[in-house]
A and B are shown apart, each in its own frame.
Chain A
Amino acid sequence: AQTVTQSQPEMSVQEAETVTLSCTYDTSENNYYLFWYKQPPSRQMILVIRQEAYKQQNATENRFSVNFQKAAKSFSLKISDSQLGDTAMYFCAFMTTYNNDMRFGAGTRLTVKP
């Protein structure tokens, strides 16, 4: 079974600075998808960024980028120029290509301080 581990339960960063959230996963599959979801206090789950395992290029979405290390099974999220609105729980998630069973890590609570 696939597992996703987020080793940082809580993190904080000063506004305008950069922060990196860690995620590792365990799988025997070669093709899969990786995701970062954001959950603000509103409870809504919002997709931040998505990476296909077959792509070597790291995904980027504006201030959000990932460092995907397939051999190390690592998928970290970098948030640049942090904003107060980035305060939220962040979940790393994994999905195989042969079924639709998405598995989540336990989450990292990020606080952006003014």
Chain B
Amino acid sequence: NAGVTQTPKFQVLKTGQSMTLQCAQDMNHNSMYWYRQDPGMGLRLIYYSASEGTTDKGEVPNGYNVSRLNKREFSLRLESAAPSQTSVYFCASSDADGYNEKLFFGSGTQLSVL
């Protein structure tokens, strides 16, 4: 079982460059999420998608865009990377069935913006 797969695992960008973080889950989950993790701040929600075709902003959406391509895939795009976006990014998914709520996480992407 692959679970939640994120690519790439590491990335270095120059200020102003763009990139897309990819995420796919094979658990047939409805909901998917993107978080960023910074020292001393825990995980902060960037965007989430409650179901295919919908996306909503989280705590820190500025500078990011997302696409829920289909039920399996949820991508995060940085159009013009800034040093403040240096962070570890996690994708997650959940069944959101109202009975067994919990998040399954990918292994994270370490992004450095120089």
**A residues 90-114 touching B (CB-CB < 8 Å):** 91, 93, 95, 97, 99-107
Comparing A12-20, A43-51, A60-68, A76-84, the segment that makes contact with chain B is A43-51
Q: How many residues of A contact B (CB 8 A)?
A: 24
CB < 8 Å neighbour of B90 from A9, A33, A45, A99: A45
Complex Cα spacing A87 to B107, Å: 18
Contacts of B107 in A (CB 8 A): 42-44
Complex Cα spacing A102 to B98, Å: 14
B69 contacts the other chain (CB 8 A): no
Closest-CB distance, A98 to chain B (whole angstroms):
10
Closest-CB distance, B114 to chain A (whole angstroms):
21
Report the interface size class on chain B: 20 to 34
Contacts of A107 in B (CB 8 A): 40, 42
Closest-CB distance, A8 to chain B (whole angstroms):
13
**A residues 28-76 touching B (CB-CB < 8 Å):** 33, 35, 42-45, 47, 50
The answer to whether B45 touches A103, judged by C-beta atoms less than 8 angstroms apart, is yes
| Residue interface bits B37-65, CB-to-A below 8 A is 1, else 0 | 00011111100101000001011000000
The answer to whether B102 touches A100, judged by C-beta atoms less than 8 angstroms apart, is no
CB < 8 Å neighbour of B45 from A33, A50, A102, A105: A102
B74 contacts the other chain (CB 8 A): no
Say yes or no: A100-B44 contact (C-beta < 8 A), given A35-B102, A43-B108, A44-B105.
no
Say yes or no: A97-B98 contact (C-beta < 8 A), given A44-B105, A102-B45.
yes
For this complex, 22 residue pairs linking A to B, each with C-beta atoms less than 8 Å apart, are A35-B102, A35-B103, A43-B108, A44-B108, A45-B92, A45-B103, A45-B105, A50-B101, A93-B43, A99-B50, A100-B31, A100-B50, A100-B96, A100-B101, A101-B45, A101-B56, A101-B58, A102-B33, A104-B43, A105-B42, A106-B41, A107-B40
Q: A33-B102, A106-B42 are in contact. List 4 more A-B contacts (CB 8 A).
A: A33-B101, A91-B43, A100-B94, A104-B44
